[in-house]
């Protein structure tokens, strides 16, 4: 009799686990692109990358926050618009296009998040675009980090009239060569 009681306890336990597992719903946040290289950007100018956050099936996804960080974790110093901060070094969000978060995204809906790179001095720059959500499907998962990189370069601007002087110089040299070749 005790063996039946033990088995029924296992059946009951398995029934609870299976029922609980059936009640769990998956949320899938799909992000594109998964990284961005801004390439060479002239100091003082900007380039923008747009990240598309899509709620995949089977259920809606909650996006709690989108932030910038200097490492792929949620340790400070990270920058989140919740605190009125929109930039981390040369990387920034556009306050005019940043979505109101937290937000529930129904299946098939998406939001766009713009990240702008504006180097103020020459050099290589790196950061991470981070998202916290209730995504239960790996990748990306509930905390996701997408690498950002860019290089600030000094734009070479020709001196005023340099192109005209170059053309004049070539025609003078060409004329001199023609005269001296015929002699």
The count of other CB atoms within 10 Å of the CB of residue 102 is 13
Predicted pLDDT of residue 64: 92
Q: Which residues pair with 150 in a beta bridge?
A: 125
pLDDT digits (tens, 9 = 90+) for 34-85: 999 999 999 999 999 999 999 998 899 999 989 999 888 877 666 777 666 7
**Residue 7: predicted pLDDT:** 47
pLDDT of residue 3: 45
* Cβ atoms of 91 and 68 closer than 8 Å: yes
CATH number of 26-153: 2.60.40.10
Residue ranges in the chain modelled with pLDDT below 70: 1-25, 76-78, 82-84, 157-183
Confidence (pLDDT) at 18 = 36
Please report, for residues 122, 155, 156, the alpha-carbon distance to residue 117 in angstroms, rounded to integers and kept in the order given.
13, 16, 19
Domain boundary assignment for the chain: 26-153
pTM score: 0.70
CB 29, CB 138: distance < 8 Å = no
């Amino acid at each position: 009799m005790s063996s039946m009681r033990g088995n029924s306890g296992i059946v009951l336990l398995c029934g609870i686990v299976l029922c609980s597992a059936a009640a769990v719903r998956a949320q899938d946040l799909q992000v594109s692109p998964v990284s961005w290289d801004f390439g060479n950007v002239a100091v003082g100018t900007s380039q923008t990358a747009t990240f598309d956050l899509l709620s995949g099936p089977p259920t809606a996804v909650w996006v709690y926050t989108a932030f910038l960080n200097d490492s792929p974790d949620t340790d400070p110093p990270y920058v989140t618009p919740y605190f009125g901060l929109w930039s981390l070094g040369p990387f920034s969000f556009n306050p005019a296009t940043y979505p109101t978060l937290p937000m529930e995204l129904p299946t098939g809906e998406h939001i766009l998040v713009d990240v702008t790179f504006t180097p103020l001095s020459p050099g290589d720059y790196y950061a991470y675009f981070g998202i916290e959500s209730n995504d239960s499907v790996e990748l990306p998962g509930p905390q996701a980090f997408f690498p950002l990189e860019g290089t600030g370069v000094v734009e070479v601007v020709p001196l005023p009239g340099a192109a005209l002087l170059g053309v004049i110089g070539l025609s003078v040299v060409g004329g001199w060569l023609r005269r001296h070749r015929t002699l």
